[in-house]
Amino acid sequence: MGEKQVTLNIDSDVDTRKGVFSDIAFVSCGSGMARIDFISGDRPGDDAVGAVLSSRVYMPTVALKSLRDAIEEQLARTAEGGDDVEHV
């Protein structure tokens, strides 16, 4: 059975798209699933830095491998003096 081509329409309207800042990410894997916690360490305290969970993403580990490959490819392109962000 062949793969079916699917078009993905992504909403990027300025009024509905959202983003959050994160300077730390933790990845946990188990039972074929991965969880990525994005953390913003933005609240310094007396003896510790406060942090906020800014986003949590669940995905199959196979998708996590694809994400890893895409990140490595982008970092290599940036290191070679290319764009900071790939424009498609």
Ranges of each domain in the chain? 24-79
Q: CA 48 → CA 12, 19, 52, 54, 82, distances in Å? A: 37, 26, 13, 18, 37
pLDDT in tens, 38-66: 998 866 666 777 888 989 999 999 999 99
Q: Does residue 29 surpass a pLDDT of 50?
A: yes
What's the confidence (pLDDT) of residue 59?
95
Claim: this prediction has a pTM higher than 0.75: no
Q: Read off the pLDDT of residues 75-86 as tens digits, 9 standing for 90 and up.
A: 998 887 766 555
